[in-house]
Amino acid sequence: MTKTRWSLAAAALFLVLTAAPIVGQAQSLVAGADAGTSAGAPTNDPAASAAAARRKAEHARIARERAALAAGRQQDEAACYKRFAVEDCLRGVRVKVREVESVLRTQEVELNDAERREKAAERLRAIEEKQNAVPPLPSAGKKGDAKVRKAQPGPDEVQTQHDHAAQQRAKQQQERAQAQATEQASRAASNAERAAKTRERHAEALKAAKERRARVEKASADAAAQGHKPAAPLPVPDL
């Protein structure tokens, strides 16, 4: 029983060492969110400024919750190794983490989409202001006026182009998020497999040591039964 406790303690230490970089990465996300959201272009529109400030606060909140989630996962998984049903406990922790991370990711994507739409609208307004500032070209007759009017896109066409570009960006963002989630799941599975192999090797070493000790004790008992002086027992190796 004492050896089993030492085995669980070693596995918990291994988990802490492998999870520490995750917490550091999550903490760096908080600083990155504050720096990234404050780098936007200034605007003179009070409503746009207020919306940008709200998005900045939301980005910072998501980063903080993500850092707290990573730290909580580390503590919960370490606690799992002190329980009897280790694997069931670990699965429950990971399911809870995935659910919370999915909610945070959805909120983050919505914020990013809102920022892209606002930036696209700002660019369109800047283009329109620049076009309005340019004096009209001399008229070349009715045919020339018709060509100029035809070359300028209408509001509906501009909105359609803007919506199409926003949909493309949202699709790319979703594909990147799915790829990142797949990579994280693969990395978690690999870590779990390595931990399982470590526990398996440790259990095999304990079993082999126990069998060696049993053989020595049996040989000593047989020698004592035959009147021979029993040999000193072999020391149990430290594992």
Instruction: Convert the pLDDT of each residue in 175-187 to its tens digit.
Output: 888 888 888 888 8
Question: 49 versus 156: which is more confidently predicted?
Answer: 49
**What's the rounded mean pLDDT across residues 28-35?**
48
How far is it, in rounded angstroms, from Cα 17 to Cα 77? 12
* 67 CB burial (10 A radius; 0-12, 13-18, 19+): buried
Residue 228's pLDDT band, with cuts at 50, 70 and 90, is low
Instruction: Identify the pLDDT of residue 23.
Output: 42
Q: Give the CA radius of gyration of the chain.
A: 33
Question: Does residue 67 register a pLDDT over 90?
Answer: yes
Q: Would you kindly state where each structural domain of the chain is located, as residue ranges? A: 1-132, 197-228
Instruction: Identify the pLDDT of residue 239.
Output: 53
Q: How far is CA 197 from CA 111, 171, 187, in A?
A: 42, 39, 15
Q: How far is CA 8 from CA 60, 99, 100, in A?
A: 37, 27, 28
**What's the rounded mean pLDDT across residues 129-158?**
65
Nearest Cα neighbor of 214 from 197, 190, 236, 188 is: 236
Q: Are the CB atoms for 6 and 35 separated by under 8 Å?
A: no
Instruction: Identify the pLDDT of residue 106.
Output: 94
Q: How far is CA 102 from CA 12, 34, 95, 97, 139, in A?
A: 27, 21, 11, 9, 58
How far is it, in rounded angstroms, from Cα 178 to Cα 174? 6
Q: Are the CB atoms for 66 and 29 separated by under 8 Å?
A: yes
Question: Does residue 170 register a pLDDT over 50?
Answer: yes
pTM listed for this prediction: 0.38
